[in-house]
Amino acid sequence: MPEFPADSVGLVTPQTAHFDDPLDLACGKTLPAYDLVYETYGTLNAERTNAVLICHALSGHHHAAGFHEADDRKPGWWDAHIGPGKSIDTNHFFVVSLNNLGGCHGSTGPVSENPATGRQWGPDFPMMTVGDWVHSQARLADRLGIERFAAVIGGSLGGMQVLQWALSYPERIANAAVIAATPKLSAQNIAFNEVARQAIRSDPDFHDGWYNEHGKVPRRGLKLARMVGHITYLSEDAMGSKFGRDLRSEDLNFGYGVEFQVESYLRHQGDTFSSSFDANTYLLMTKALDYFDPAAVHGGVLAKAVKPARCPFLVVSFTSDWRFPPSRSRELANALIRAGKSVSYVNIASPHGHDAFLLPEPRYQAVFAAFMSRAARELGLEERS
């Protein structure tokens, strides 16, 4: 018998929902049919009022909590916050976590077959937006018989989906938790994404996106993209205290092998990622980030854009996050306040940069748990344990 921690959701099995109704996309194209891979943790109550949707970030997927195999060394990516007694308490909530369209972990994306050609979609896979994802997630909710989510929750790009839920389906979301996100990318954010895209697209093994048909993987480009990404996920201080200027060996070798620990870390992160993630998916996800800007059609006035929202918001930022710094979360919180919405904004002291949203930090956990407890109480959810 596998022994999982008492606060783990334990062994989980991904499921697949197939959709035959075409999905019209913001780019003007239509996805004729598609699969969404998802996991659930906890039990949907009879009234179907206790469902929570988890939206994933740039390189995330459906496996947010628990273990796929008894001997898995690592749990899902948000296991710190999902489980019995955790912030998103599976004693109260039925948690749904999916892989977004365009992803490379089972949901329909560039590595899936294009029914029109019988080939992989590859670079022909249509561009996705945060709005498209939210529509597809709403269809998954329909399929699961969930009329209204008790909460929609996400960090980073996931937080953008949460905000979009509150605007696209205000009647279907009871609470929104937008964590380490931004209402739109800055020019610098876009610049970093563009470097990542150029790294991938200029890799000779990219073959205009048809690398799989050429039996190639643009590993060099993916590695560089991930290395750049990692620099923006960690704070300067976190990098400094983790690696400082520590050398791998005793002395400088005056060559281009690894000399400093931080070089070794980045190369390892890049190598691991480049052998597991699809390049077309990475491109598409960075574009979805760049495009997100709900205020754009409201003359740039975010307080106007958020008018449709009805639910209470929890907005969380982290002091050392320089990818989406606290000022971006404050921008959102202020717009919500100006629009007369209910919003709690908390800036959590953390040295871990953008990555802090993934980690357990007592004050973060306390704030998060309190928001979810209130949600559970107000929705009349009973503790099942």
Which residues contribute to the annotated binding site for substrate?
Answer: 226, 355
Binding site feature residues: 226, 355
270 binds a copy of itself (CB under 8 A): yes
State which of residues 1, 28, 71, 362 lies at the interface with a copy of itself (CB under 8 A). 28
Size of the site for a copy of itself (CB under 8 A): 55
Quick one: tokens of 36?
Answer: 């969404």
State which of residues 7, 142, 290, 331 lies at the interface with a copy of itself (CB under 8 A). 290
Q: Are 55 and 163 in contact (CB under 8 A)?
A: no
State which of residues 224, 333, 346, 356 lies at the interface with a copy of itself (CB under 8 A). 224
Other C-beta atoms closer than 10 Å to the C-beta of 108 total 26
Choice among 81, 278, 321, 350 that is catalytic:
321
Minimum CB separation of residue 311 from a copy of itself in Å reads 27
* Length of the chain (residues): 385
- Residues 225, 206: Cα–Cα separation, whole Å: 13
215 binds a copy of itself (CB under 8 A): no
- Residues 145, 48: Cα–Cα separation, whole Å: 7
- Segment lying near a copy of itself (by CB under 8 A), choices 36-44, 162-170, 231-239, 309-317: 231-239
Quick one: tokens of 306?
Answer: 């958020």
191 binds a copy of itself (CB under 8 A): yes
Based on the residue annotation, tell me whether 354 is a catalytic residue of this protein.
Answer: yes
DSSP string, 165-201: HHHH-GGGBS-EEEES--SS--HHHHHHHHHHHHHHH
- Segment lying near a copy of itself (by CB under 8 A), choices 74-82, 106-114, 193-201, 363-371: 193-201
β-partners of residue 31 are 23
Alpha-carbon Rg for the chain, nearest whole angstrom, is 21
243 binds a copy of itself (CB under 8 A): yes
199 binds a copy of itself (CB under 8 A): yes
255 binds a copy of itself (CB under 8 A): yes
- Token pair 């018998």 is found at 1
Burial class (CB in 10 A: 0-12, 13-18, 19+), 140: middle
Of the candidates 203, 198, 202, the residue with the CA atom closest to the CA atom of residue 216: 203
Q: Which is nearer to a copy of itself, 86 or 197 (CB)?
A: 197
192 binds a copy of itself (CB under 8 A): yes
- Measure the CA dihedral 157/158/159/162, to 10°: 130
245 binds a copy of itself (CB under 8 A): yes
- Segment lying near a copy of itself (by CB under 8 A), choices 37-45, 152-160, 168-176, 235-243: 235-243
- The secondary element (H helix, E strand) that includes residue 40 is strand 34-41
236 binds a copy of itself (CB under 8 A): yes
Choice among 156, 235, 274, 320 that is catalytic:
156
Based on the residue annotation, tell me whether 321 is a catalytic residue of this protein.
Answer: yes
State which of residues 16, 21, 27, 85 lies at the interface with a copy of itself (CB under 8 A). 27
Quick one: tokens of 56?
Answer: 């994933």
Quick one: tokens of 124?
Answer: 């022909």
- The secondary element (H helix, E strand) that includes residue 332 is helix 326-338
Q: Which is nearer to a copy of itself, 25 or 134 (CB)?
A: 25
Backbone φ and ψ for 38, nearest 5 degrees, come out as -150, 165
- Segment lying near a copy of itself (by CB under 8 A), choices 36-44, 134-142, 240-248, 337-345: 240-248
DSSP 287: H
242 binds a copy of itself (CB under 8 A): yes
Q: Which residues are catalytic?
A: 156, 321, 354
Given the rule CB under 8 A, which residues bind a copy of itself? 26-28, 126-127, 184-188, 190-192, 194-195, 197-199, 201-204, 220, 223-224, 227-228, 230-231, 234, 236, 239-240, 242-245, 252, 254-256, 259-263, 266-267, 270, 283, 287, 290-291, 293, 296
